[in-house]
Amino acid sequence: MTDKTSDKLKHLLPDAMTEPKSHAELMKHKRLTENAFPHVRMRRLRQNSAVRDMVRENQVQVSDLIYPIFVEEDIDTPVAIKSMPGVVRETEKTLTAKMKEAQELGIRSVMLFGVSHHKDHNGSDSMSPNGLLARMIDRAKQAAPDVAITADLCFCEYTDHGHCGPINRHGDVDNDKTVENIAMQAVIAAEAGADIVAPSGMMDGQVSGIRHALDVTGFTHVPVMAYAAKFASVFYGPFRDAAGCSLGHDVNVPAHRKSYQLDPANSREAIRDALMDEQEGADILMVKPGMPYLDILAKLREKTELPLAVYQISGEYAMIRLAAEAGALNYQSAMMESLLSFKRAGADMILTYSALDVANWLNK
């Protein structure tokens, strides 16, 4: 063996035989990570798309989606909502076509929001069998009998002051009067053909009030999807434009909903409130908004066996859409990742304004 060859082979010999002269030389011959090198390599299961597909833990499916639709009375053509690109206020007539489109795409449920032209202190139009709430439920059900109509129950779209129930003499929303009214609203919605009712007002006792009213009027089969943990969030902004229920134009009532919606700072309180809805007989619990409250969703998943819904609200939708329009994000990729985060955190169903787009992507 020549000297040159032996030099070349030196690195193959055990350390003791090469007799390094210094630490620097030792480093040349011995990889510092040698003993710590992992036997478990996480990247093995990420190596190609087939393997990645096999180990994927969560998926978004069309059947997860609930599509929220705005319906405005007394308008001739749909009105675009500037802050929510791609979303319109349907007319009562165009609701029919929208329902058929949703049904054809395989959407299993829609949630309807009325934009009322008949507002008063109590929101009484929504408690009338001929009011907008009843009319749009009936029309939607007729148009797409295979789609479950989830009726949002609240008064903010029907009151002239914009709050979620009548105001008492202290200038606050009257809890017990609102519960009485919302129980009436639930029966009106069920009579009109709602498959599910979803009270969103965050009044104490609203779920048991509604459950009782439905049961004594023969609607024992109609489930309650409770807006169980609904936070007083700034991200509702675009919805309030869309539904025409912003606050602040009446100086005699608070310009916020902090006396009934949850404080964004509170996690334990949110879980208590949600579990109380379960005790009152809720069949499905909802967390709203979605992305800023994934921790609440994940915690609630640990605490209840009920199905969970999450609402990706207008501000979340707008952020993704407007960022995409500005070229900062890809709409489809960002939306799908955002919806996937809800599934990962424990949601069974997702309310999203992107539902039709998502169904189109998934059906391809």
Binding residues vs Zn ion (CB under 5 A): 154, 156, 164
Question: Based on CB atoms, which residue is closest to Zn ion, 261 or 304?
Answer: 261
Question: Based on CB atoms, which residue is closest to Zn ion, 154 or 284?
Answer: 154
Dump strand ranges (E) for the chain.
65-72, 79-80, 88-91, 109-115, 148-153, 196-199, 225-230, 284-288, 308-311, 349-351
Question: Based on CB atoms, which residue is closest to Zn ion, 126 or 352?
Answer: 126
Q: How far is CA 71 from the centre of its chain?
A: 20
Burial zone of 195 (CB within 10 Å; 0-12 exposed, 13-18 middle, 19+ buried): middle
To Zn ion, the closest distance from the beta carbon of 319 in angstroms equals: 22
To Zn ion, the closest distance from the beta carbon of 136 in angstroms equals: 16
Q: What are the distances in angstroms from CA 151 to CA 80, 111, 189? A: 22, 6, 7
Q: Is 82 labeled as catalytic in the residue annotation? A: no
To Zn ion, the closest distance from the beta carbon of 315 in angstroms equals: 16
Cα separation, 92 vs 185, in Å, equals 19
Of the listed 98, 288, 299, 343, which one is catalytic? 288
To Zn ion, the closest distance from the beta carbon of 200 in angstroms equals: 5
Q: Are 358 and 352 in contact (CB under 8 A)?
A: yes
Q: Are 29 and 308 in contact (CB under 8 A)?
A: no
Question: Based on CB atoms, which residue is closest to Zn ion, 102 or 229?
Answer: 229
Q: Is 288 labeled as catalytic in the residue annotation? A: yes
**Which residues does 360 contact at the CB level (< 8 Å), separation at least 6?**
105
Question: Based on CB atoms, which residue is closest to Zn ion, 164 or 300?
Answer: 164
Region of residue 346 (phi > 0: left; psi between -120 and 50: alpha; otherwise: beta)? left
To Zn ion, the closest distance from the beta carbon of 267 in angstroms equals: 23
Of the listed 98, 230, 299, 343, which one is catalytic? 230
Helix (H) or strand (E) holding 282: none
Q: Are 227 and 138 in contact (CB under 8 A)?
A: no
Render 141-164 in DSSP notation, one character per residue: HHH-TTSEEEEEE-STTTBSS-SS
To Zn ion, the closest distance from the beta carbon of 256 in angstroms equals: 13
Percent composition of the chain: helix, strand, coil (DSSP 3-state, to 5): 45, 15, 40
Q: Are 104 and 118 in contact (CB under 8 A)?
A: no
Question: Based on CB atoms, which residue is closest to Zn ion, 65 or 154?
Answer: 154
Q: Which residues are catalytic?
A: 230, 288
